[in-house]
A and B are shown apart, each in its own frame.
Chain A
Amino acid sequence: MKQSLHDDQIQSQMLPGVLTRDGMLGEDRRKLRDILEADDAAVRRLGLTHARIAARMRELRDVGAAGLGQALDVLDHFEVRVDSARGGLPCPFLHEGLFAKEYVEVLNRRSGERLTFTELNIHMIEAHGFYEGVGSFFRQDPQALARVLEIQA
């Protein structure tokens, strides 16, 4: 699909210094529409959906949040720490409202791999299929998510 003017407007919100210091695109120079389509294809190749991935992220976030900022051992072999800072961030896709500045650190004890994602990441994947640009600090690679969080097709 061709990038629309609306997509341009959204992509401008993702640039460094607009909503966040580093932005959400990293070194990715592709159009937003191309980023979305490439990740959508990657998710389909995994036999997953954005909703399924977001649901697993939220499941881990919710059980980890009970630790009140301390790491918890959850779901057999995961260690999850959910912490939060004062303030909130708006979604670059121009919704109303704010998302808590909350980050979730997940350690898969079985594989030793770690992931860190935010409340906003979960929303952007669930609602927009957006995993951030390649090189962005909070970029969530669909394959890494599926592997580390053990999301089954």
Chain B
Amino acid sequence: MAKSKFVQDLPRIYTIYTGGFVAFIALMAFAETQGMSAKNIGLCFVGFTILIYAVIGWLARTAEVDAYYVAGRQVPTVFNGMATAADWMSGASFVAMAGGIYFNGYTYMAFVVGWTGGYVLVASLLAPYLRKFGCYTVPDFIGTRYGGNFARFCAVLILLLASFTYVTAQINATGTIASRALGIPFDVGVWVGLVSILLCAMLGGMKSVTWSQVAQYIVLIIAYLIPIFWMSWKLGHVFPHFSLGGEVERIVALEAQYGLVKNSAEALKEAKVPAGLSSMSIPHSGVPAGAMAAWKYVSLAICMMVGTASLPHILMRYFTTPSVTSARRSVAWSLFFIFLLYFSAPMLATLSKIQLLDPNLPTAIIGKKIVDVQAIEWVKNWTAVGQVYIADLNKDGILQLNEWFMRDDVVVLATPEVAGLPYVISGLVAAGGLAAAMSTADGLLLAIANAFSHDIYFKMIDPRASVLKRLTVARVLLIVIGCASAYVAAMRLTGILGAVAWAFDFAMSGLFFPLVLGVWWKRATRSGAIAGMLGGLISGTWYLYYVGPTFLNQTPWLGIDNLRFGIIGASVSLIAMVVVSLLTKPESEAIQQMVDDARIPSGKTVMTQR
């Protein structure tokens, strides 16, 4: 098969697209100088980008099964890397991560390591072998390697649990950003967000999602990096990542000078500080002392890394490449594109913090008179929407470090205003956050709907279904699942359901060992895999229920709290799978042959799709 004209044209198409987007930013910047209002700029950014994604989704519409499920297996490595990066980086990565680092310091950065290190596992242990299998979905691999509908069903169940937890948080983020930018109520924003997401995914399935995710990656990375570099240039650092050592040191000195104080719960209550807002009380770059603190860091990183390697919406992206070698290369590019954002987040937190703390900078507020601080434009705006709060706890009229409260998200969203950048940058950041949330929601919804339409409907219920019928079912399911998640998101249960970390823990509890051992251990049997999936899922869920603050709220064992329950689930899964596999008869010669075939890159895919 010769390279299609479309694939050859891709670099040119996306270069023009990037140029167009930059021109659009310039146009908006010009409009701002001509007196266009902040509200209209925000509206243009959000409206224009959603329109572009919808057009891409429509252009990539398809009536072929291969195109719908795996984008025709012709996505080039670098582009698949960008699509995976957008698929991966959620609204939380974009909006909340820098804020988390800002307030929680070193310990929180276990997420940064966890959400990148997992790709080493994906590249070495899974992606090339799953690609060689030639499956459409992750449960498709489980169902083929271990055989039997029950194993396939267990995999669908875990996929559903992990992905649904995750997607409601994304739709919630989409709704929040849409409602803020378009000036509509949150509930309406959620549905507007859902319609935009479905426009990208419905007509062309994986093919549409792939090409709009590439477009979304370009928007989100531009939107994340421009404010960081701009702010850094204002402080005289050309390349922030390599030259902020001095600023980190300065923050340590300023922390010592102002004093890091943890406010008591009573003081916060008395001062009427709204829930969810925090003050700076944890050292910026210090490592907490003790073996328990180190274990907390390491255990969280392990959960995120192993979870990464088990999340179906990421693994399925590597089914879209032309060959096994290109799947492997594509993992490297994915991590590279993800890395660009993740190694910038701590720099954003540093720059943003120094702006407020350093008395030599015009943007500083700590140590100033409270009446003066309250008169600053951005402080007024964000106080009005309840995202920022000042409480004069010691009643001296001067703003102390522990008297300044912000919501985590504000760090990313308000930083352009704090640093005195034009409003066009804030509009750009809103578009970036929306792109991040939408692209992840696309991938997750597709993962769930495809598991239902391919694994449940086609493989179990009606294996003779025609192409038209299969694709119709796939699209109807996409809409149904989308509506279900928007409905749940609109109920704002995110405090309970939105813990993104849980998705990783569910996925690692049930899927990691059945997937990895399916390739690396020929002796793994069907009963073993089922024991591994169910054992991991049940023990993990039980442990979550046992320690979860909204459930039984028991004391965690060895510091394994509700963010880390995957440690329990995955351990049980491994033991159950090995023990049961060894107790049962080895799999047939045909299955052994299948595993041997999957281990070499050359030759036809192991399974043939119809």
Q: Do chains A and B stick together as partners?
A: no
**B residues bordering A, Cβ < 8 Å?**
none
